[in-house]
A and B are shown apart, each in its own frame.
Chain A
Amino acid sequence: MSALELRGVSKRLGAVQALSDVSFELGAHEFLVVLGPTGAGKTTLLRTVAGLETPDSGVLRLGGVDVAQRAPAERDVALVFQNFSLYPSKTVRENLAFPLLAPGRRLAAAEVDERVRWAAQLLRIERLLERPARQLSGGEMQRVAIGRAIVRRPRLFLMDEPLTNLDAKLREELRVELRELARRLETPVLWVTHDAAEALSMADRVAVLSHGRILQLDTPRTVYLRPVSPLVARQLGSPPINLIEVRRDEAGWRLPSGEPCCSAAGDAPREALLGFRPEHVRLEGGSSDAVVELVEHLGPQQVVVLRWGGATVHAAVPSSVDVAVHQRVRPTVAAEHCLVWPR
């Protein structure tokens, strides 16, 4: 049985259709990342699952039970907020114990202590326990906030961009750690982010959300390599995917000014939007010329900006490749890496 199931869930907030007809299932141990830009409806989705918003229509099942009209307290899910983490006037220990002391839970004091200690150990924050929350650093706060979620051992974690406000190094550290933690706790996670790298690295499956609709829901690999639409393709990958308007003739795809760029299937449309990832562009072996406009070194690879057949194309090539500005190259893209959407 799926841990969470949404069927046709819609929610309007004022003039904005925050969610429209959202349907998906979350497996019992699954780590599902919802990816989307600001305003896509990610937070509304989490709040609806948590019970802080009531859906206008649709079915919302937790463990097979329809909970759309139930109070948040009855749902036994844990939500980590993006911009709120802790009660500033309470200590870390009090913050961690707070969810356990909810009247409906009726836990013995010893059990509360035990669980707080367990969570603190797991997140390596034992030495912070007696500290007032307002004295913590951003990273420590977020650890405690996640601690607040795990002490209850809820049936589902909802994470609203928990790493967004942290610096890059800490973010990567916690990413690995939290992925591992979720696996160990065997609890499903619905994780929301606008960071594609985060989505691709953490998720079992990625749901791409835009204007309240799920555009694609699949494994990170499929979503990255076989996006169903240019909109999805654009949300993943850095540098972003190249999207060029092309025409087809006997020789294959032709760039806006007529140069050939790669071969095309015979049944492809005559006019199309061609997408290919920068790392799939090779700088030699092609049949038309391009000029290097810019080279940006990123350590292991370099991003080369090309002017090619009337279009600007990004190529990501290993740093070992010798390339300079104004140099002429003959780029090419293998046909299997080309994504084609009819225009």
Chain B
Amino acid sequence: MKLVRWFVLLAYLALAAAPLAWMALSSLKRRDDTIAPHAKFLPASSAVDDSASPWFEATLAAYRDLGAVHAGAQESFLGHLGSSVVIGLLSTVASVALGTCCAYGFSRFRVPGAKDWLFFVLSTRFLPPLAVVVPVLIMYRALDLQGTHLGLIVLYTVFNLSLAVWLMKGFLDEIPRAFEEAALVDGYSRGQAFLRVVLPEARTGMAVTAVFCLISAWNEYGFAMTLNSSGAVTVPAYFAGLQGNIEGMPWPQIAAGALVFVAPITVFTVLVRKSLLRGMTFGTIKQ
């Protein structure tokens, strides 16, 4: 039984990791090796002459090249990474902050029609976001938000807010009311009790919510492509925009860039992995 389990796990790992591994290999190649007719999957330390050999010469050139501006783009990968960081972080901070405050209200006060409101909040996720791309485009054109950081920050915040409210409500419901009530009796105001007692206890929940919001903002492609094809272009849109340029796709640089791009999310997720499951079930798993 144990053997079977290991076999299944290893098989799944191989399947899941293969694309990443291929990307890692590609990031070490020269462009010619990435589009060679014979697959090259064994890195060598010196030049390889035989074009049919699976060996290729490993190099870090693609990583050194991340600061270079390629044909078909206005900025280097690093420039676009900067846009992704600004947009991803600010929209995550905004979603978590607004979501926490809103969830606190629903969790602690008698809000008339609270259930309906919460359902409404959730219902904003029923529609595939791209279904509203045209109205948003028209709106953003009128507001002059196309191609700006602010435009995508606002958009991602709105999309992630419903998730943030529901996740945070689950986490806040688990913090005993007595925590704040004790603080209230001890001489703190409602706001102070929220800041001094509730927020510290809700840190895990906020981190988990932040991961989900960040992943969704970080990887968002459709709106980034439609609204911000120039100006503040995020990394996913930047990669897609390289297609069809006259020099061809710079595959090693794309592979290297993609690896750098997934690294922060991986680290962040690993840090809060223990709490992620609680987040996915809206906090219903007791510790």
Q: How far is the CA of A104 from the CA of B185 in the complex (A)?
A: 12
A150 to chain B, nearest CB (A): 12
Q: B186's closest neighbor in chain A, by CB?
A: A99
Residues of B with C-beta under 8 A to A89: 200-201
What total of A-B pairs shows CB separation below 8 Å?
59
Instruction: Confirm or deny: B81 has a beta carbon within 8 angstroms of a beta carbon on chain A.
Output: no
Instruction: Confirm or deny: B178 has a beta carbon within 8 angstroms of a beta carbon on chain A.
Output: yes
Q: Given A52-B181, A81-B181, A102–B186 Cβ distance below 8 Å?
A: yes
Instruction: Confirm or deny: B182 has a beta carbon within 8 angstroms of a beta carbon on chain A.
Output: yes
Q: B178's closest neighbor in chain A, by CB?
A: A84
B195 to chain A, nearest CB (A): 11
Instruction: Confirm or deny: A42 has a beta carbon within 8 angstroms of a beta carbon on chain B.
Output: no
Contact present for B179 and A73 (CB under 8 Å): no
Q: Given A73-B189, A81-B178, A103-B192, A87–B197 Cβ distance below 8 Å?
A: yes
Instruction: Confirm or deny: A261 has a beta carbon within 8 angstroms of a beta carbon on chain B.
Output: no
Q: B181's closest neighbor in chain A, by CB?
A: A52
B199 to chain A, nearest CB (A): 12
Determine the interface band of chain B, counting residues with CB < 8 A from chain A.
Answer: 10 to 19
Residues of A with C-beta under 8 A to B185: 50-52, 72-73, 75, 77-79
Instruction: Confirm or deny: A127 has a beta carbon within 8 angstroms of a beta carbon on chain B.
Output: no
A2 to chain B, nearest CB (A): 21
Residues of A with C-beta under 8 A to B179: 84, 87
Q: How far is the CA of A76 from the CA of B186 in the complex (A)?
A: 8
Which residues of B151-201 have CB atoms within 8 Å of chain A's CB atoms?
Answer: 176, 178-179, 181-189, 192, 197, 200-201
Instruction: Confirm or deny: A105 has a beta carbon within 8 angstroms of a beta carbon on chain B.
Output: yes
Instruction: Confirm or deny: A83 has a beta carbon within 8 angstroms of a beta carbon on chain B.
Output: yes
What is the 8 Å Cβ interface bit string for chain A, positions 90-113, against chain B (1 contact, 0 not)? Answer: 000000001100111100000000
Which residues of A142-187 have CB atoms within 8 Å of chain B's CB atoms?
Answer: 148, 152
Q: A101's closest neighbor in chain B, by CB?
A: B196
What is the 8 Å Cβ interface bit string for chain A, positions 48-73, against chain B (1 contact, 0 not)? Answer: 00111000000000000000000111
Q: How far is the CA of A105 from the CA of B188 in the complex (A)?
A: 9
Q: How far is the CA of A84 from the CA of B197 in the complex (A)?
A: 13
Contact present for A102 and B176 (CB under 8 Å): no
Q: B203's closest neighbor in chain A, by CB?
A: A89
Contact present for A99 and B187 (CB under 8 Å): yes
Residues of A with C-beta under 8 A to B182: 79, 81, 84, 148
Q: A160's closest neighbor in chain B, by CB?
A: B178
Q: Given A52-B181, A81-B178, A87-B179, A98–B201 Cβ distance below 8 Å?
A: no
Q: How far is the CA of A81 from the CA of B184 in the complex (A)?
A: 13
B184 to chain A, nearest CB (A): 4
Q: How far is the CA of A76 from the CA of B188 in the complex (A)?
A: 11
- 29 A-B pairs whose Cβ atoms sit less than 8 Å apart in the complex: A50-B185, A51-B185, A52-B184, A52-B185, A71-B184, A71-B189, A73-B184, A73-B185, A75-B185, A76-B187, A79-B181, A79-B185, A81-B178, A81-B182, A84-B179, A84-B181, A87-B179, A87-B197, A87-B201, A98-B186, A99-B186, A102-B183, A102-B187, A102-B188, A103-B189, A103-B192, A104-B187, A148-B182, A152-B186
Pairs A-B, 4 closest by C-beta atoms: A84-B178, A102-B187, A99-B186, A72-B184
B residues whose Cβ falls under 8 Å from a Cβ of A: 176, 178-179, 181-189, 192, 197, 200-201
